[in-house]
Structure formats: structure tokens, C-alpha cells
Amino acid sequence: MGYGVTDSWWTEVEGHWESRADGFKFRTVDFENAVRLLRQESWWPETALFIEYDQSAETHSTDTATLGGLFRKDFGPSSSVFNILFDHDLGPNATTGVRLRYTGMSTWQFVPEFAPGIEVFGDAGRVGSFVNSAGQDHRLGPALTGGVDIEGVGEFGYTLAYLFGLTPASPNGTLVWRLEFDRRF
């Protein structure tokens, strides 16, 4: 559930379910804030500061604090997003150091319900002591995203992607499936 506090500040609470070796489970409750620093004017991308706290739903797992930059640029029907994020684990089982990861997607919208594109994800590891690239997690693959606005109800959005592992440390393949419901108040 999210709320636009102002035109430049969004806050959101969301839950995450993930599939791992122990099954498909509810993993975290995330508290997110994004503050827009620059609008998409002239050739500059829209830029926002991102702050997040992930509270683990599992007692033995760590919580995570994230700080990063969000960047978006639209050119006609194409849209590109790239996020640079720094994560720090918190709690008794936390690992030391700050990790660097990135996410990105570039799409071409034919109609609001259908925008094919490409998605990228990477986790370079701990800042200041990166392992060689073979030990890092980098993934890339095709994506499909879109949304349907139902008057009086809200907007249902989706993203479906299959990311191929690019390094030996990456999974061979990752199915990404996101569903979102937006309702304006």
C-alpha cells in the first residue's frame, strides 16, 4: 500500500513472497520511501533518492536497510529505469559491510496492456571487497509488462520476465512475476 505524500515524496508498505529451497513463503514486510530530486526535463532522467527498511518475517533472518538512486527516462513509447542500491543487513545474524546491487528495465509500450522489453539484475557483493565477476550474480532476460485501468476499481499491473544467469554464481534461470494493484484516493 502506497501513498503520495506530495508530488515529490512517495511512501509505501509492501509484502514480499519468495520461492526458495524451503518453499514459497512470505519473507518480508518492506517500508519504502522515494523522494524525487529531479523531474524528467530536457535530457536529464527523473532521479529519486530511495530509502527502504525490510523487516524479516522469519525470526532467524536478518533485516535490511537500503539506500539508493532511482533513475527513469522516457522517450516516446520507450521507458528505461535503472536503480543503484546499497544494502546493509541488520540484526544478530547480519553479515558485515554494505552490498551493491542494481536493477533495470527498458520497455517499448505498444499499448498500455503490452510493453515488451528487457530486464537486468545484479549483485556485485560487498563494497570495497568485490569478488571477481565469476563470483557475482548478474542476470538478464526478456520481460513483458503492462496494466489495465478499470474505472471505479483501480489499475492492475503486471511484469513477467525470465532472466538468464550471466555468471557461474548466478542461477541458470529466474522467473520474475510481479502483480500490482493501484487505487487512487
Displacement of CA 152 from its chain's centroid (Å):
28
CA contacts within 13 A on the Cβ side of 105: 18
Set of cell numbers at residue 182 = 493501484
**Using CA atoms, how far apart are residues 95 and 159, in angstroms rounded to an integer?**
31
Write the DSSP symbol of residue 111. Answer: B
Cα distances (Å, whole numbers) of residue 143 to 40, 52, 107, 116, 133? 24, 25, 8, 6, 24
pLDDT at 112: 85
pLDDT in tens, the chain (185 residues): 778 888 899 999 988 887 777 788 888 899 999 999 999 877 889 999 999 999 888 877 889 999 999 999 999 999 999 999 999 999 888 888 899 999 999 999 999 899 999 999 999 999 988 888 888 999 999 999 999 988 888 889 999 999 999 999 999 999 999 988 887 76
**pTM, full prediction:** 0.87
Displacement of CA 8 from its chain's centroid (Å):
19
CA angle, 119 then 34 then 8, to 5°: 115
pLDDT at 96: 83
pLDDT at 74: 94
Residue 44 lies in domain: 2-182
Residue 128 backbone dihedrals phi, psi, to 5 degrees: 90, -15
**Using CA atoms, how far apart are residues 97 and 15, in angstroms rounded to an integer?**
25
pLDDT at 57: 86
Q: How many domains does the chain have?
A: 1
